[in-house]
């Protein structure tokens, strides 16, 4: 049975499902989910990510985390964690760049939080020179200082979508239903939504707001560990502050696709609303930095100097590729502005380098 047939059967039995349930099934269904069945990254896959574009991204992230660790008195042991590590490229670049940081590798316990069995295999191969551990959830992170990075992880978490319905306090949820075996989007009944009370003042009839409930418990664990034991986290993703509008998108073979067209065959993501993440961080007594465009963050960390250093040994097409990668990561017309960075850090420490309180 295809994933689509499974979803149609489930809807016939239980009624229309939330966009969040649809996303979760498409991405992580145990046998037919998008991430559970393939390595989606790179030129042969459906999308690419900053660490796959250039080693410079992971190197600078690694040095940023290592500097935070040094600023906080080099605590040992500490957890070095990545959420959704993809092919392990980012963690590999972090570890290579920090080899010369005295004591860093000896103190680090590497934990990879990954849901995909296929990608776990790829990560094990990429990181074969190290001793990573895998966890199914951040709840398994030990009670010790935590240095964490999440690049394009939160955008893969399921979102519910609500339409402001009329001039009162009512919302109706967008739901995935079926007709004659085809999936389609419909609307649930109009009613108040407690979780959206604070959005009544900045939305009007017809506006769409997305809620990512799954992100909050994850942030709560991360912020809790950092507040009580020290460390830092870097959350990098496309998105903004205070979400408005439908940002659910499907990517297949590097092209946009209809999110309902081929369940389990396309990557599904939604932009990250950083505001609820920041609120959850503060609720744990942890600090967060200002939301900063990726291009600005990487420039502050010295990506141009790093590109110049790397360029000295390159010529021809390799040099062109390096210049293109630098531009792609930093330029406002490319990933530089669309992607944002938010850092987490304890109240007694300085924010991670490249970010402001």
Instruction: Tell me which residues touch ligand SAH (CB under 6 A).
Output: 27, 35, 41, 49, 51-52, 84-86, 90, 113-116, 119, 151-153, 156
User: Among residues 70 and 139, whose Cβ is nearest to ligand SAH?
Assistant: 139
Least distance (Å) between residue 84 CB and ligand SAH: 2
Q: Which residues neighbour 317 within 8 Å (Cβ) at sequence distance 6 or greater? A: none
Angle at the Cα of 73 (from 68 to 78), degrees rounded to 5? 70
Determine contact, residues 295/330, Cβ cutoff 8 Å.
Answer: yes
**If 0-12 CB within 10 Å is exposed, 13-18 middle and 19+ buried, where does residue 241 land?**
middle
Q: Name the nearest CA neighbour of 264 among 114, 113, 46.
A: 46
User: Among residues 181 and 217, whose Cβ is nearest to ligand SAH?
Assistant: 217
CA distances from 41 to 266, 317, 324 (A): 12, 22, 19
Least distance (Å) between residue 335 CB and ligand SAH: 11
Least distance (Å) between residue 118 CB and ligand SAH: 8
Least distance (Å) between residue 113 CB and ligand SAH: 5
User: Among residues 82 and 246, whose Cβ is nearest to ligand SAH?
Assistant: 82
**If 0-12 CB within 10 Å is exposed, 13-18 middle and 19+ buried, where does residue 194 land?**
exposed
Least distance (Å) between residue 166 CB and ligand SAH: 34
Return the residue nearest ligand SAH (CB atom): 84
User: Among residues 8 and 94, whose Cβ is nearest to ligand SAH?
Assistant: 94
């Amino acid at each position: 049975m295809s994933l689509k047939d499974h979803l149609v059967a489930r809807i016939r039995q239980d009624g229309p499902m939330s966009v969040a349930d649809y996303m979760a099934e498409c991405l992580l269904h145990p046998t037919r989910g998008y991430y559970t069945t393939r390595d989606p990254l790179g030129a042969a896959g459906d999308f690419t990510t900053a660490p796959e574009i250039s080693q410079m991204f992971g190197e600078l992230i690694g040095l940023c985390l290592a500097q935070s660790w040094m600023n906080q008195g080099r605590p040992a042991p500490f957890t070095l964690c990545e959420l959704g590590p993809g092919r392990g490229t980012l963690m590999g670049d972090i570890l290579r760049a920090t080899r010369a940081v005295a004591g860093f590798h000896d103190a680090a316990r590497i934990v990879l939080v990954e849901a995909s069995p296929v990608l776990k295999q790829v990560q094990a191969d990429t990181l074969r020179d190290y001793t990573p551990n895998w966890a199914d959830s951040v709840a398994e992170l030990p009670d010790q200082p935590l240095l964490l990075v999440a690049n394009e992880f939160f955008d893969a978490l399921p979102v519910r979508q609500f339409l402001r319905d009329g001039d009162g306090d009512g919302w109706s949820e967008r739901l995935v239903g079926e007709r004659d075996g085809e999936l389609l989007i419909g609307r649930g009944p109009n009613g108040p939504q407690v979780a959206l009370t604070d959005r009544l003042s900045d939305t009007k009839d017809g506006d769409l707001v997305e809620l990512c409930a799954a992100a909050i418990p994850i942030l709560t664990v991360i912020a809790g560990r950092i507040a009580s034991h020290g460390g830092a986290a870097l959350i990098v993703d496309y998105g903004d502050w205070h979400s408005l509008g439908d940002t659910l998108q499907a990517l297949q073979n590097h092209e946009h696709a209809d999110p309902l067209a081929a369940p389990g065959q396309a990557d599904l993501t939604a932009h990250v609303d950083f505001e609820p993440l920041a609120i959850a961080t503060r609720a744990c007594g942890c600090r967060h930095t200002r939301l900063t465009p990726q291009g600005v963050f990487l420039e502050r960390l010295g990506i141009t100097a790093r590109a110049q250093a790397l360029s000295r040994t390159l010529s021809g097409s390799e040099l062109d590729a390096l210049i293109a990668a630098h531009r792609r990561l930093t330029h406002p017309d490319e990933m530089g502005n669309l992607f944002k960075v938010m850092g987490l850090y304890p109240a007694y420490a300085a924010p991670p380098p490249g970010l402001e309180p």
